[in-house]
Amino acid sequence: MLRLRVLLPLLVVLVLANVAWIVWSRWGLITVHAEDRPLSEIIRSIEKQGGIRLLSTLDPATPVKMNVTRVPLTEALESLAALTDSRWRLTYVFGQNKGEIATAVSGFEAGQKTEGWKMIYVPLYGAPGADTEEIQPDPRRDLWTVKAPKEATLQAYLNEAGRSVSAAFTVPEAWNPAIGKPPGSGEITKVAARLASAAGGKYEELFVLDRGGRRGPPDGGESGGGDGPRSSGGRSFDPAAIEQRALAEIEKLPPEKQAAAKQEFMDRKAFFTSMADLPPEERRARMEEYFNRPEIQERMEERMARDDARRTPEQRVQRFKKYNERKAAIQAGQAPKPSAPR
């Protein structure tokens, strides 16, 4: 009897510990089984399960077929983006107070250009090793090794953050307080909080889903954190910032992979730089030769296969049809019709 009294509490503790482990291990994993349900319902479900705020500029009534079971947040977002032909991005909105931030967020959600605000974001274009994982890591865990900028202000720090992590930063153009003490390195989700506090302001962390540029809010602001060449969409792209962003991503790779990745990046940079002054026909021929390389083809096919696996059969048929149309137009010497951005 005494032995039973001792073992029974121990058994209860073990059962409770096992239950706690199951709950903890599945915390933040996303399960969605929906057949032609409104996008707004899918978003609310992901928000609740992932503990995030997900803002969308898409029609909330859009019917969505989505089936994922206990997947990481980023995998759920990639699936939703593929199914709605959109993009997602982690975004931090900084402001002097919560009311100012709420006004800006409302503008984003309405798909409007937010006057008086700037967006700092540096796209990551093909950094070696950056897009090889089937499931992308949570960008909130992205490490920012903080380096004090020449000018110790909020926007200067945000420019450095944009060149270092997979996130966008939005801030009022006229608000640029001095930062007395560097916020310290760490996960961006934590450093952002420290930086807002040091600036004497507030911030909000959210995910944005829209059909604009690569994972960013539709604010029409800067991209690259400064003046530079512009894309067809009118956003500024700073080549130096883009290179710094790629090199920062390479530095996050395991030490044994960094040298080869950096060499691959520099070789790619040299190739595209060498084409800057070539005649259009010669440039086109060299580009075709480049993209026909076996290693490039393999990487592109792997990425396309991952994306197609997330789409419905109807979407795959439609995309294949558009691909054939573009290919036929190119072979005929005609300008291909632009495809909708993802």
| Number of separate helices (H) and strands (E) present in the chain | 11, 9
In terms of pTM, does the model score above 0.85? no
**How confident is the model over 235-263, as a mean pLDDT?**
86
Amino acid of residue 151: E
Q: What confidence tens digit (pLDDT) does each residue in 152-194 have?
A: 999 999 999 999 999 999 999 999 999 999 999 999 999 999 9
> What is the rounded CA–CA span in Å between residue 140 and residue 161?
12
**How confident is the model over 51-60, as a mean pLDDT?**
94
Per-domain residue ranges for the chain?
27-85, 91-247
Average pLDDT of the chain to the nearest whole number: 79
Q: Which tokens hold the place of 333? A: 């010497």
> What is the rounded CA–CA span in Å between residue 21 and residue 180?
42
Q: What confidence tens digit (pLDDT) does each residue in 69-116 have?
A: 999 999 999 999 999 999 999 999 999 999 999 999 998 888 777 789
What pLDDT is stored for residue 296 in this prediction? Answer: 76
> What is the rounded CA–CA span in Å between residue 341 and residue 89?
14
Amino acid of residue 247: L
What pLDDT is stored for residue 3 in this prediction? Answer: 55
The highest-confidence range among 124-138, 155-169, 217-231, 312-326, by mean pLDDT, is 155-169
Q: What confidence tens digit (pLDDT) does each residue in 260-316 have?
A: 889 988 888 888 888 888 898 888 888 888 888 887 777 777 776 666 667 666 666
Above 80 in pLDDT, residue 212? Answer: no
Above 90 in pLDDT, residue 46? Answer: yes
